[in-house]
Structure 1
Amino acid sequence: MYSPRRAVRGTAAAVALLLAAGCANPGVGSDRDDPTKPVTLKFWHGWSAPGEVKAIDGSLARFEELHPNIHVVATGNVSDETTNQALRAGGNDAPDVVSSFTTNNVGQYCDSGMWTDLDPFMARSHLVKEKVFPKTLLEYSSYEGKQCALPLLADVYGMYYNKDAFEEAGIARPPRTMSELVRDARKLTKKAEGGGYERVGFMPNFRMYQNSPDRLFAQWGPTYFDGKGNSRLAKEKTVPEFFRTTGELMKAQGGYAALEKFRTTFGDEMSSQNAFLTGKLAMHLDGEWRGLMLDEAKAKFRWGTAPLPVPDDRPETYGRGFLTGTVAGIAHSSKHQNAAWELVKFLTADTKQVVRFANAIHNVPSTKAALKSPALDGDRSFRTFLDIARNPYSTALPPSTNGGQYVVSLRDFAYKVEAGKVPDLPAGLRGLDAQIDADTLQSKS
């Protein structure tokens, strides 16, 4: 299930901390411990909702049944900031195994040395990561060849749509291309008497809920960095296409100012006043967790799920989407790294465990075998997201040594573009590249 903790991924506060982490000198742990000897491991994670905590505690209990010599003490609701402070300080109070919801910052975890390289542990366990984990998930849990984390469930983004509104507008199926999205959004938009809106077809504004620009931009499959790690958004031909499409969506539905005014009437994303749930949106970008929430809220309309549309000149990529998720790793300062590996391996690579955990918190499983498991729950609407996760065109944000700061910079730039405050897009993108590169350089100093 979706938890509010996901909404804070990539925030400036977390990024600022991780930039500081690049200068850390993490304590040296040990991979010479005997994992068959009695030991207590400290596991820090970010889950906080009662159902999530129950699920992770159940997972740890199953692990201890398989490894009666290893006792795990779990601490939940731990932020990246707290974890990284503890890892920089080292000592007996630091965790052995850590998890994070901030995949944007994997580059920092690996580059700082605070999370240990897992490849030697996988080699000794004869675990071939390419056979176990989908390619995209491996990419967002590694940096420059260093696999310092492994995926622990995934979040997948697609489209929710109001079937009743589609029927009313005479639309037979969800849009598959961006031009169809613009066309259908126009048809589905309903103006209110006296001005304003009753309903918007598709809200493109970047400040709304999960509408961080990188999530819709993933439908173009952009390349953020060149081979030297320099930002190349000014050279990326899909960037103007992306902003042109969001601009067309706004124009087709009344323009940025009117849409932004309507957006301010929306209730909280996680509340019963969510704009899609209350019928103010006919189509909505969101993650796999939303379906369960719609069922629990007893939505008063028929709804369905589909992949987000793709550019008109790339129809073969339809079915793709944006992927992110939780990652788990071993603290470099841990003196029980072999025992810690047994826990990480169980949580991330044991098919039965991954399926049970995915079912418990309604997230997408993160191994190839689990994605195909007949024991995996999920009705047709949820399986849309499983298909997106398996799609070879689906993408995740690339890791960077500056953590998620480049995503924050892109988001802030996108705010200006949608508001018409970037009169020269190429020049603005060159400035954005320069800013991202400067942040990257600072993180390495």
Structure 2
Amino acid sequence: MRRTLRTLATYSVATTIALVLTACTGQSAGGGDDGSAAGKDVTITFWHGWSQDNEVKAIDDNIAAFQKLHPNIHVKSVGNITDDKIEQALRAGGRDAPDVVSSFTTDQVGKYCSAKVWADMNPFLRKDGIDAAKTFPAPMLDYSRYEGNQCALPLLGDSYGLYYNKSAFAAAGITAPPRTFSEFEAAAAKLTIPDGDGFKQLGFMPNFHGYETTPMHYLGQYGATYFGPDGKTNVAADPKIAAMYTWQKNLVAKLGGFDRLEKFRTGFGDEFSAKNPFETGQLAMSLDGEWRTATLTANKVGFDWATAPFPVPDDQADTYGRGYTTGTIVGIAGSSQKQTAAWELVKFLTTDTDSLIAFANAIHNVPSTNAALNSPKLAADPTFKTFLDIAKNPHSTTTPASINGGAYQMSLRNFGYDYESGKQPDVQAGLSATAKEIDAAIAQAK
């Protein structure tokens, strides 16, 4: 399951560390030739964040397969490593620093690339004749590089789509999932069953404090852009961004108003448990990632459900099937003295089709290469296939890397909180102020 939201909640600490990284690290002090290519025994350390038993087993199985192919390269794998610990180790360098690192947070890429604490993958890719543009889906490639520096590669991905309660749909007389926002609004209203000052069932929770209903996930349906060629933000200039906030606020009003929805939201159980409001029937539709298919199946919910792409704006109906994508990234520490061996591990984990399929099947994530996405070996029941198709859709997008991580996303979320609640009534004035805030923070980080 994804862990990105917790990183945004603590972005200010991460930004501070990023400034230290930029100031103190400078050029990589790493080394390329460690003798492993000539058969010399080399031990490398691999840090990752997976902690659940099935996740750890899956990554350990892949490492075992790698070591069978490369018997002279020994991998010391350490799991359940947080992003904070990764940043501290990369900053410190030295013998105890890892050689290969993975992170669940694509927002780290801009910081790691600009500070050069992760090695640029481009020379390694060229050496082995790997065409990254043909190997990886475009959004996944986008979130693993910054200003031409391919300092990371994608290692499994996540796609966001629509989950809907088929039983509730049947009861409301809805025969198919909505494809456009106007159809979605009508369905959400029809599926909403009031109960006093609350709801017996809510068609959809649009508020920005709702699970996964973030501005960035919504903007994935618009194809919005965040930065211009000059590196400055265009959140106030791109009309799609203002359109998203306006649409979301109108939907909030249509479904009962901000205060009433917020009161209902406070009764939701934990997002990553059987008390998730979609699983309990409190919500008839939900925006979520592909991993939810596994938990819904495991928890044996008491209704029929299905998945579909999340709807798109009516004036972009031809892009239906798109979605927001993100994922896990992996890189080589810039200070590593064993980069030749480290690259062999990274190359295997990120480009070996059988390895990726085994990993994706084991932890219910989306594969991160075009070959793996199209492989017949991939376990793809109809509910999961939705997310594979979203990952392959040419209109799907992600959030771009920034030198100060996810700070610009937090600025957009904070504006969203103010706008939906009525604290800031003017969408354009609010976005203009948000743009100034974003540009000032990026200038300071640089």
**TM-score, scaled relative to structure 1:** 0.97
Quote the residue 1:300 is aligned against. Answer: 302
Aligned to 1:441: 443
Matches of 1:394 and 1:405, distance apart in 2: 22
Question: Counterpart of 1:325 in 2: which secondary structure?
Answer: strand
Name 2:228's counterpart in structure 1: 226
* 2:142 aligned residue: 139
- Give yes or no for contact 1:117–1:148 (8 Å, CA) kept in 2: yes
Q: Amino acid of the residue matched to residue 215 of structure 1?
A: H
Cα offsets for 1:98-143 (capped at 9, x unmatched): 1111102211111110001111111111111122111111111011
How much does 1:6 deviate?
4.2
Ranges in structure 1 where 5+ consecutive residues have no aligned partner: none
For 1:210, what is the secondary structure of its paired residue?
coil
Query: What is the SS of the residue equivalent to 1:376?
Result: coil
User: Do the aligned residues in 1 keep the contact of 2:234 with 2:435 (CA within 8 Å)?
Assistant: yes
Structure 2 regions of 5+ residues with no counterpart?
none
Q: Give the direction of change, closer, same or farther, for the CA distance of 1:158–1:19 in structure 2 (3 Å limit).
A: farther
* Residue number in structure 2 paired with 1:85: 88
Structure 2 partner of 1:95: 98
Contact 2:324–2:397 under 8 Å retained in 1: yes
3-state SS in 1 of match to 2:148: coil
Tell me the distance in 2 between the aligned counterparts of 1:282 and 1:19.
44
Counterparts of 1:384-399 in structure 2, within 5 Å, are 384-399=386-401
Give the distance between the partners of 1:6 and 1:239, measured in 2 at CA.
21
Q: 1:10 — aligned with what?
A: 8
Tell me by how many angstroms 1:252 deviates: 1.5
Alpha-carbon distance in structure 2 between the residues aligned to 1:416 and 1:58:
47
State whether residues 197 and 260 of structure 2, in contact with CA within 8 Å, keep that contact through their aligned partners in structure 1.
Answer: no
Contact 1:288 1:382 in 2 (8 A): yes
Per-residue CA deviations over 1:226-245 (Å, capped at 9, x if unaligned) read 11110111111012211121
Give the deviation of 1:267 after TM superposition.
Answer: 0.6
**CA RMSD after TM alignment:** 1.2
2:434 paired with 1:432: yes
Measured after TM superposition, the shift of residue 24 of structure 1 is 3.0
- Structure 2 match to 1:58: 61
- The aligned residue for residue 22 of structure 2 is 22
2-structure distance, mates of 1:245, 1:205: 12
Q: Superposition pairs for residues 339-418 of structure 1, below 5 Å? A: 339-418=341-420
Is the contact between residue 203 and residue 259 of structure 1 (CA under 8 Å) also seen in structure 2? Answer: yes
User: When the two structures are aligned, how many residues end up with a matched partner?
Assistant: 441
2:266 aligned to which of 264, 267, 271? 264
1:37 aligned residue = 40
**1:10 and 1:102 in contact (8 A); partners too:** no
Q: Is the 8 A contact 1:9 1:101 kept in 2?
A: no
Deviations 1:390-436 (Å, cap 9, x if unpaired)? 00000000111121111111111111111011122222111101111
Determine if contact 1:185/1:252 at 8 Å carries over to the other structure.
Answer: no
Contact 2:99/2:336, CA 8 A, preserved across alignment: yes
CA distance in 2, matches of 1:143, 1:15: 16
Alpha-carbon contact 1:18-1:105 (below 8 Å) kept: no
Match of 1:168 among 171, 174, 191: 171
Deviation of the 1:47 alpha carbon: 0.8
Partner of 2:159: 156
For 1:135-155, what per-residue CA distance to the aligned partner results, in whole angstroms no more than 9, with x for missing partners? Answer: 111111011111110000001
Counterpart of 2:188 in structure 1: which amino acid? A
Matches within 5 A, 1:305-324: 305-324=307-326
Contact 1:19-1:403 at 8 Å conserved across structures: no
Q: Identify the range of structure 1 (206-215 vs 5-14) with the bigger mean alpha-carbon deviation.
A: 5-14
The answer for the alignment partner of 1:121 in structure 2 is 124
Aligned-residue offset at 1:271: 1.7
SS in 2 for 1:202: coil
Deviations 1:326-360 (A, max 9, x none): 00010010001011000000000000100000011
* Superposed counterparts of 1:189-228, under 5 Å: 189-192=192-195, 194-228=196-230
Which shows bigger deviation, 19-28 or 44-53?
A: 19-28
* Corresponding letter in the other structure for 2:52: A
Of the structure 1 ranges 43-52 and 359-368, higher mean CA displacement relative to structure 2 is found in 43-52
**What is the letter of the counterpart of residue 334 of structure 1?**
S
- Read off the aligned partner of 1:116 and give its amino acid letter: A
- The letter for the 2-side match of 1:88 is R
8 A Cα contact 2:236 2:242, kept in partner:
no
Task: Determine the structure 1 residue equivalent to 2:338.
Answer: 336
